[in-house]
Amino acid sequence: MRAHVTMPTLLAAAALALALAAAAPAGANARPKCQNLAARRIPFGALEASYRALTGLPSSIPLSRTEPRHYGVCGATHYAFALLVVATGVKLTYRQQVAQQDHSPIWIEKPGRAWVDEGIDDVCNLAPAQLINLWKLGVTCRSRPAAASGRRRAGRLRLPPPPS
């Protein structure tokens, strides 16, 4: 049995399909809402583990946490602004000193993944502008289009050989 479709019904269905298709990209490109969280909730144990893995520092070398500290979430991704440094008075080897140079205060944790150091870059390129502006770091970031907001990933540091 064949269904009889009238021209007005077909036009209405086409208009509805077109409206839904036009609305989908806008929702897909919408930026997730960001919110500031209490800095006391920063998971320093996880940040320290990531930092030690990145820099190769053993757990016997004490680390200090500097101020200011900020914590936030955009969608399901968490961000921390927290700088870890070697405690005052600790002597480091040349390789350990070099490893400290490329550390960033911006950390990111995507759902189901470990915290990673975002690397050295303009702070506005390391986390969503909305969150950086909420943190009031002394810089105002402008939002970029969603397609342009890809972030560079920090990898394991390649250290130069020590001086002779």
Residue 105 lies in a domain: yes
Residue 17 lies in a domain: no
Q: How many CA atoms lie within 13 A of 120 on its CB side?
A: 6
Residue 65 lies in a domain: yes
Residue 26 lies in a domain: no
Pair of tokens at residue 1:
């049995």
Residue 129 lies in a domain: yes
Residue 13 lies in a domain: no
Total domain count, the chain? 1
The verdict on pTM exceeding 0.75 is no
Residue 134 lies in a domain: yes
How far apart, in whole angstroms, are the C-alpha atoms of residue 116 and residue 138? 23
Residue 61 lies in a domain: yes
Instruction: Give the domain range for residue 88.
Output: 32-148
pLDDT at 6: 52
Task: Tell me the pLDDT of the chain (164 aa) as tens digits.
Answer: 454 545 444 344 444 443 433 443 444 456 779 999 999 999 999 999 999 988 889 999 999 998 889 999 999 999 999 988 888 889 988 988 888 887 788 999 999 999 998 777 788 888 999 999 999 988 899 886 543 444 443 333 344 555 55
Check: CB of residue 44 under 8 Å from CB of residue 65. yes
pLDDT at 109: 95
